[in-house]
């Protein structure tokens, strides 16, 4: 790393953290911190979503998996595209009408405390795993940049995540997310174009002898059930993640929430395609490197110094922003479960303190967990994280929003537990056959469907929160 790399990196980091600091000055209440005061425009909503969703998994992790398997690395960002479009067209308005700050609160109002508490635990666990993947991605980036790997690099990444969002909360995540979206988007598109140019064009790259089409040109290189299942788990995971709900309810209107979700959805596959091109190029010209370093080393070796520094720091911000945004989602759930409503100014201050404190603890624990990670593909952990959140949440979320009167509280709890149990069994019995989240989601919906059909035959209607 040269001094020009350092200058470019410092310039970008100063810009981003200045934006985070300025947004933090606007935070006066817990509502400002946890949901941006519900005054975000479409661009801020899109920034919050991409600032969290387009992270180390969608960039460094996609290039890593493309280095190993080619186009099958697209499933993470394709899942994001489908999931966020489904949110925009079907889920945004009923979610905003749900009069809740968190997914567990929404479920509690319809199905009671058992299902809500279980969902909170599963969502927090899934989000925590996702934060760990961001710490690992950041550690890989710092290792390429400075040679600082292991404990030092991962603790530093967690500290940067904390600085990024602990003061600004949802406001910081949205404002800086917009800036990050521009920086990272420009960086990835530039790198992809450069890789294609250096390779001699798309035909030369995709036809390279080191990239046999049956593997690297195959969208299902790891097997149809594995890759398609990973894509589906990502769809459900994006939809049932607290940070998605936080971004949606932070919007000033239904229209802003829908437009922001749609914008974020369309950005996802563009980032994914760029990451795949970079991963394929590095496989063709540098087949002996550690796959997780494919994107950082491409930038260091192929991009001019100052611009490379800007890009590397933009990638660093990507990792930091995603981990911080997921941490914010965890703090939202914890604050919402422990202190659901602020009835006075002192209550509001305590809720704000609880939100910041739980965020700090979550990020510190993620750094510790990353130290004990055994390595492997970053996207594998990301798919596991998405699967947990999707299996635990998508069924009861759909039921709570669209047909709560047909589902009993007992069935809602059973759907979550049965889905998680089947997911765990599938992972143990068929680890390489199908993504374990798919049978988990199917069983969850089967349980809910049985409950709904029984209620319909019996003519029984369970009152929703608004009817109690």
- From CA 322, how far away is CA 317, in angstroms rounded? 8
pLDDT > 70? residue 459: no
251: helix, strand or coil: strand
Strand pairing partners for 251?
A: 40
Residue with tokens 């600032």: 51
How confident is residue 330, by pLDDT bands cut at 50, 70 and 90?
confident
Residues 345-379 have pLDDT tens digits of 556 667 667 777 887 888 888 888 887 765 556 66
Is the CB of residue 96 less than 8 Å from the CB of residue 257?
yes
6: helix, strand or coil: helix
- From CA 19, how far away is CA 23, in angstroms rounded? 6
Residues 232-243 have pLDDT tens digits of 989 998 999 888
Domains within the chain, CATH numbers bracketed? 3-380 (1.20.1730.10)
Percent of the chain with pLDDT over 90: 43
40: helix, strand or coil: strand
Within 10 A of 227 (CB to CB), how many other CB atoms are there? Answer: 23
Structure tokens at 279: 């991963």
Helix axes 62-69, 378-402, angle to 10 degrees: 120
Of 305 and 421, which is predicted with more confidence? 421
Residues 101-123 have pLDDT tens digits of 889 999 999 999 999 999 999 99
Structure tokens at 261: 């979700």
Of 194 and 321, which is predicted with more confidence? 194
When computed from its CA atoms, the radius of gyration of the chain, rounded to whole angstroms, is 21
In the predicted model, what is the mean pLDDT of the chain? 83
pLDDT on residue 132: 87
How confident is residue 257, by pLDDT bands cut at 50, 70 and 90?
very high
Average pLDDT over residues 129-139: 84
pLDDT > 50? residue 447: yes
pLDDT > 80? residue 341: no
- From CA 185, how far away is CA 271, in angstroms rounded? 7
Is the CB of residue 88 less than 8 Å from the CB of residue 106?
no
97's CB contacts (< 8 A; 6+ apart) are none
pTM metric for this prediction? 0.81
169: helix, strand or coil: helix
H-only helix segments in 403-436? 409-429
Average pLDDT over residues 279-297: 93
pLDDT on residue 378: 67
Q: Which of 1-10, 351-360, 418-427 has the lowest mean pLDDT?
A: 1-10
pLDDT on residue 342: 46
Is the CB of residue 169 less than 8 Å from the CB of residue 355?
yes
pLDDT on residue 163: 73
Q: Which of 31-45, 199-213, 217-231, 233-247 has the lowest mean pLDDT?
A: 31-45
pLDDT > 60? residue 23: no
61's CB contacts (< 8 A; 6+ apart) are 76, 133, 137, 377, 378, 379, 382
Is the CB of residue 438 less than 8 Å from the CB of residue 230?
no
pLDDT on residue 130: 86
Residues 137-184 have pLDDT tens digits of 788 777 767 766 667 778 888 888 877 665 544 445 556 667 777 888
Is the CB of residue 271 less than 8 Å from the CB of residue 58?
yes
- From CA 294, how far away is CA 289, in angstroms rounded? 7
Cα separation of the two ends of the chain? 63
pLDDT on residue 410: 95
């Amino acid at each position: 790393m040269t001094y020009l790399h350092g200058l470019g990196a410092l310039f970008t980091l100063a810009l981003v953290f200045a934006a985070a600091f300025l947004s933090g000055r606007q935070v006066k209440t817990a509502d400002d911190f946890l949901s941006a005061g519900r005054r975000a425009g479409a661009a801020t909503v899109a920034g919050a979503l991409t600032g969290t969703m387009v992270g180390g998994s969608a960039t460094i992790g996609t290039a890593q998996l493309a280095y190993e398997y080619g186009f099958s690395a697209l499933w993470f960002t394709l899942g994001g595209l489908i999931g966020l479009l489904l949110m925009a067209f079907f889920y945004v308005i009923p979610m905003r009408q749900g009069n809740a700050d968190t997914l567990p609160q929404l479920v509690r109002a319809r199905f009671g405390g058992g299902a809500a508490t279980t969902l909170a635990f599963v969502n927090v666990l899934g989000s925590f795993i996702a934060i760990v993947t961001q710490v690992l991605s950041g550690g890989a980036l710092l290792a390429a940049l400075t040679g600082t790997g292991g404990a030092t690099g991962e603790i530093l990444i967690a500290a940067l995540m904390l600085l990024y969002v602990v003061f600004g909360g949802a406001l910081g995540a949205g404002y800086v997310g917009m800036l990050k979206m521009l920086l990272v988007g420009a960086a990835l598109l530039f790198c992809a174009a450069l890789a294609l140019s250096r390779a001699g064009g798309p035909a030369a790259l995709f036809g390279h002898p080191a990239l046999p089409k049956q593997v690297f040109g195959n969208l299902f290189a790891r097997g149809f059930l594995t890759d398609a299942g990973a894509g589906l788990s990502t769809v459900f995971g994006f939809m049932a993640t607290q940070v998605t709900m936080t971004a949606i309810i932070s919007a000033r209107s239904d229209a802003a929430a829908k437009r922001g979700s749609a914008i974020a959805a369309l950005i996802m596959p563009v980032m994914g395609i760029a990451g795949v091109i970079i991963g394929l190029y590095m496989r063709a010209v540098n087949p002996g490197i550690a796959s997780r370093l494919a994107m950082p080393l491409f930038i260091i070796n192929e991009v001019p110094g100052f611009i490379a520094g800007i890009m590397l720091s933009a990638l660093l911000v990507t990792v930091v922003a995603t981990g911080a945004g997921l941490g914010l989602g965890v703090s939202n759930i914890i604050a919402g479960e422990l202190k659901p409503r602020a009835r006075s100014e002192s209550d509001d201050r305590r809720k704000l303190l609880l939100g910041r404190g739980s965020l700090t603890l979550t990020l510190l624990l993620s750094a510790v967990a990353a130290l004990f990670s055994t390595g492997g593909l970053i996207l594998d952990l990301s798919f596991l994280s998405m699967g947990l959140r999707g299996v635990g949440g998508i069924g009861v979320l759909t039921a709570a929003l669209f047909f709560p009167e047909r589902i009993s509280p007992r069935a809602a709890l059973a759907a979550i537990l049965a889905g998680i149990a089947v997911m765990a069994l599938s992972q143990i019995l068929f680890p390489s056959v199908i993504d374990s989240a798919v049978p988990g989601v199917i069983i969850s919906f089967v349980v809910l469907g049985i409950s709904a059909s029984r209620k319909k035959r019996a003519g029984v209607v369970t009152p929703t929160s608004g009817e109690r």
